Amino acid sequence: MKNILYKLFGVKNDFEKLFFSNEFNDLTGKSRKSIIALSLILALTISALGYAVGGIKYLKERMDNPFTNWVNLPIKNSYKEKVNKLELFFEDEVKRDSFDLDNITKYKIDFREFLNFEDNEIYTLKTRTVGVDEDILKEILKPGNVVQGYSYKEGDELDFPLCGIIVKEQTLRENLAYAVGKPLDKLTMVSGEFVFFPEVVAVVKELPNLCNMLISSHYSNLLNKSFDETGFVQLNPVNRVSLVGRFKMQDEDERKKAIEDIFSDYEIADVEFDQVKMNEDNSLDKFTLTLFDFLEFEEIRKFAKLIEREGLMKNPRVQFKSECNVGDYSNLNNPHYLAFNFKKLDLVRDFNEFLKTDPRFGMEISMDQVEAKENFALVSRLTGLIALILLGFSILSIVFYINSLLTTHLEGIKNNLGTLKAFGLNNQFLISVYIKIIILFIIISIVVGYLISFVIKGLEMGFSKISVIDLFDYRIFITMIVILLFSSYISFISIKKILLKTPGDLIYNR
């Protein structure tokens, strides 16, 4: 190993090797305590810079993240009519850029009913709408947030079914009694006397606005508007009616007899039994009545209450054939909120002042949101500033430590150096050797410092389960090169200053 280092540093003859080895050992101290000390300093520097750089990256991701960069404005009755004016005003890109505003979207919060997989009880869950072309949807469907199902990859075209649904993992586990991890095809959504089975697009860790579910604006309008208007559910007279729920009796013959008794006022041609599978473990009972006569929609919608009153099924609902692709209903009907998505959060207060004081709008965002976004932007700037200060302080501290160590060593052996010079050893040789020693000293300390930093990173992950520290950022490598070059340069000046003295001055300490 020594021979390899000698070759790398151009140390050739035996005298040079002996001189290099002895001076390196003297400079680094017994048990290499100087290397250990510098390695610890560098480890703390690398780790601190790693935290700062990783923190900046994390904040930048959060700043670029629509989860963070939006501000919500409830649409009150007093300015409901002004929403369209506001949207038209900010269609101009120049006006949006003046506030670092990316876009304006509308959304709605509904409380929809879903059936629990285990007990078939109905749970009312908070559901938010989203446009299928919104950036927030891409963020929600990123791999890091998706537990199972479809995930969006940057650069791909977003493929989100208009009548699909995204559900929060915690909701599946706590409200719907579903074991997360198994394939899930659909959920059971209840709307009045009807039941729908929206396709589960993805199960995710987090959803905005503390919501349980997320559906498209198109789907929300189809569920809320009149079926006559949208054609979402076919309301033509039919003679086949399906009801879904959970039978209270197990024997199929008993079920059939009970159904015939309940619907004795109707001429029944056939009764068919089936299952609606949510996944491999969960399903609902279903039976279909085939009648001789065609019945109107209003007549059929009474069937669910009739079945429930007679106690045949638990939470029965009529299942009608529904059609999602019946036109474009993406323009949200009666939205509850405006969401302002910002590129940066620095101008949120100015934007709020504009909305509040401009007579065309007269809207006001809650101050807690404004202050929270300002604080977030301030923290990101302070993190960058602290990282720069830390960088400068670290470089200066390390350079001064190395220079102090070298100067103290040279001052202690001035007599010996003077004697060597008196016997003909030239300054160029001495300067060259000491610079090589300093470079090797720093390189070894950086390598050891990095190894210690990885231990610190491992401890961080062990305690917090996540790691913000980034040890492979190019800026840290550049910092290490700067420390190496700057320390070598300062050391060169110090060495030259001492060795330029005459042998007599060095020997007699003049």
DSSP per residue, 364-390: ---HHHHHHHHHHHHHHHHHHHHHHHH
Lowest mean pLDDT among 40-49, 163-172, 422-431, 477-486: 422-431
In a domain, residue 283? The reply is yes
In a domain, residue 456? The reply is yes
Q: Look at residue 212 in the predicted model and tell me its pLDDT.
A: 93
Report the chain's mean pLDDT, rounded to a whole number: 84
3-state helix, strand, coil in the chain (%, to 5): 50, 20, 30
Indicate whether 290 pLDDT > 80.
yes
In a domain, residue 67? The reply is no
| HSE-up of residue 165 (Cα within 13 Å, Cβ side) | 28
Indicate whether 485 pLDDT > 70.
yes
- For residue range 133-159, list pLDDT tens digits in order: 888 888 889 888 999 899 998 888 888
In a domain, residue 100? The reply is no
In a domain, residue 251? The reply is yes
Tell which of 319, 339, 367 closes a domain. 319
- For residue range 24-58, list pLDDT tens digits in order: 888 877 677 888 888 888 888 888 888 877 877 77
Q: Using 50, 70 and 90 to split pLDDT, how confident is the model at 98?
A: very high
Indicate whether 2 pLDDT > 70.
no
- Between CA 80 and CA 88, with CA 85 as vertex, the angle to 5 degrees is 135
Q: Do 315 and 394 share a domain, yes or no? A: no
Indicate whether 111 pLDDT > 90.
yes
Q: Look at residue 440 in the predicted model and tell me its pLDDT.
A: 87
Query: What does the pLDDT average to over 186-191?
Result: 87
SS3 295: strand
Indicate whether 66 pLDDT > 60.
no
User: What is the pTM (predicted TM-score) of this model?
Assistant: 0.64
Tell which of 274, 302, 319 closes a domain. 319
SS3 223: helix
CATH number at residue 292: 3.30.70.380
* % residues pLDDT > 90 (the chain): 13
Q: Which residue has the higher pLDDT, 462 or 449?
A: 449
Integer Cα distance of 347 and 177 in angstroms: 44
Q: Do 495 and 384 share a domain, yes or no? A: yes
Q: Using 50, 70 and 90 to split pLDDT, how confident is the model at 372?
A: low
Q: Look at residue 168 in the predicted model and tell me its pLDDT.
A: 92
Q: Do 383 and 503 share a domain, yes or no? A: yes
Indicate whether 359 pLDDT > 80.
yes
Q: Do 294 and 408 share a domain, yes or no? A: no
Q: Do 386 and 313 share a domain, yes or no? A: no
Indicate whether 62 pLDDT > 70.
no
Q: 200: closest CA among 150, 146, 156, 151?
A: 150
Q: What is the largest CA-CA distance in the chain?
A: 127
Lowest mean pLDDT among 139-148, 201-210, 278-287, 430-439: 278-287
Q: Do 301 and 410 share a domain, yes or no? A: no
Domain of residue 299, residue span? 238-319
Residue 342, CA distances (Å) to 31, 97, 350, 375, 439 in order: 57, 9, 12, 15, 48
Domain count of the chain? 2
Q: Do 300 and 411 share a domain, yes or no? A: no
Q: Look at residue 1 in the predicted model and tell me its pLDDT.
A: 60
- Between CA 201 and CA 208, with CA 205 as vertex, the angle to 5 degrees is 85
Tell which of 296, 319, 342 closes a domain. 319
Query: What does the pLDDT average to over 321-350?
Result: 84
Integer Cα distance of 371 and 328 in angstroms: 38
Q: Do 391 and 497 share a domain, yes or no? A: yes
Integer Cα distance of 342 and 355 in angstroms: 15
Q: Look at residue 127 in the predicted model and tell me its pLDDT.
A: 95
Q: Do 313 and 414 share a domain, yes or no? A: no
In a domain, residue 274? The reply is yes
Q: Look at residue 47 in the predicted model and tell me its pLDDT.
A: 85
Q: Do 496 and 393 share a domain, yes or no? A: yes
Q: Using 50, 70 and 90 to split pLDDT, how confident is the model at 80?
A: confident
Q: Look at residue 215 in the predicted model and tell me its pLDDT.
A: 94
Indicate whether 61 pLDDT > 70.
no
Indicate whether 64 pLDDT > 60.
no
In a domain, residue 44? The reply is yes
In a domain, residue 354? The reply is no
Three state DSSP letters for 122-165: EEEEEEEEECCCCHHHHHHCCCCCEEEECCCCCCCCCCCCCCEE
Cα Rg of the chain, angstroms: 37
Count each helix (H run) and each strand (E run) in the chain, helices first.
Answer: 18, 15
Lowest mean pLDDT among 250-254, 275-279, 365-369: 365-369
